[in-house]
Amino acid sequence: METSKESKEEKKDEKQKTPKGRMVIPPEVIEFIKRKDGSSLLVKGTAGTGKTTLSLQFIEEVGDPDRSFYLSTRVSDESLYNQFPWLEEKEMKNRIVDSSKVFLEAIYEDEEEEEPELPEAERKKLKSAQEFLGSIDEERIPTEVDRTRLKGLDRKIPGLERVYDRIDSILPERTMLVIDSVEGLTHKYGLDPETFIMTLQKDLVENSKTNLILVLEKEEAKELEYLVDGVLKLNRFHLENRDVREIRLLKLRGVGIGQPGYLMTLAGGRFTCFEPFRAIVETHREWEPIEGGEDRYSTGTKDLDALLEGGFPKGSYNVFEVDEDVSTEEYFSVIRPIFLNTLSRNMGVLAILSGGTHPDNLKDDLTRFISEGKFDKKFRIVDYFSPQSDKPYMMALGGKKRDEVGKIYNKHISDISDEGKSPILDYTGFDTLEYLMGNEIAIKDLLEAVANTKVSHNLGIGIIKHGLKLTSEIKNMADNYFVISSINNTPCIYGIKPKTGLYAIITDPERGIPYISLVPIR
For the chain, domains (ranges, CATH) are 44-226 (3.40.50), 296-520 (3.40.50.300)
User: In Å, what is the CA distance from 444 to each residue of 331, 382, 468, 512?
Assistant: 26, 18, 15, 40
Q: With CA atoms as reference, report the closest residue to 324 among 492, 486, 504.
A: 486
According to DSSP, residue 86 is labeled G
Which residues are 480's β-sheet partners? 318
Beta strands 230-239 and 40-45 are: parallel
Q: What is the per-residue pLDDT for 96?
A: 54
Q: Is 490 left (phi over 0), alpha (psi -120 to 50) or beta?
A: beta
Q: 399, 387 in Cβ contact below 8 A?
A: yes
Distance CA 291, CA 299 (A): 9
CA 512 vs. chain centroid, Å, equals 16
Q: What is the per-residue pLDDT for 32?
A: 96
User: In Å, what is the CA distance from 390 to each residue of 363, 394, 401, 407, 423?
Assistant: 15, 8, 20, 18, 26
DSSP 166-235: HHHHHTTS--EEEEE-HHHHHHHTT--HHHHHHHHIIIIIITT--EEEEE-SSS--HHHHTTSSEEEEEE
Q: 311, 298 in Cβ contact below 8 A?
A: yes
Distance CA 339, CA 355 (A): 18
Distance CA 511, CA 383 (A): 34
Give me the helices (H) in 40-155, please.
51-57, 77-83, 99-102, 120-135, 148-151
Nearest-5° Cα angle at 482, 476 to 484? 130
Give me the helices (H) in 274-393, please.
302-307, 328-344, 359-366, 372-378
Digitized pLDDT (tens) for each residue of the chain, 522 residues in all: 344 444 444 444 444 445 556 788 999 999 999 988 899 999 999 999 999 899 888 988 888 777 888 877 655 556 666 666 656 655 555 555 443 333 344 333 433 344 455 566 665 555 555 555 455 454 556 778 889 999 888 777 776 788 888 898 888 888 999 998 899 888 888 889 999 999 999 999 998 999 999 999 888 888 899 999 999 999 999 999 999 999 999 999 999 999 999 999 999 888 999 988 876 666 678 999 999 888 999 999 999 999 999 999 999 999 999 999 999 999 999 999 999 999 999 999 999 999 889 999 999 999 999 999 999 999 999 998 899 999 999 999 988 888 898 899 999 999 999 998 899 999 999 888 777 777 677 777 777 778 888 888 899 999 998 877 777 777 888 999 999 999 999 999 999 999 999 999 999 988 888 999 999 999
Q: What is the per-residue pLDDT for 78?
A: 63
Q: What is the per-residue pLDDT for 67?
A: 85
According to DSSP, residue 431 is labeled H
CA 484 vs. chain centroid, Å, equals 15
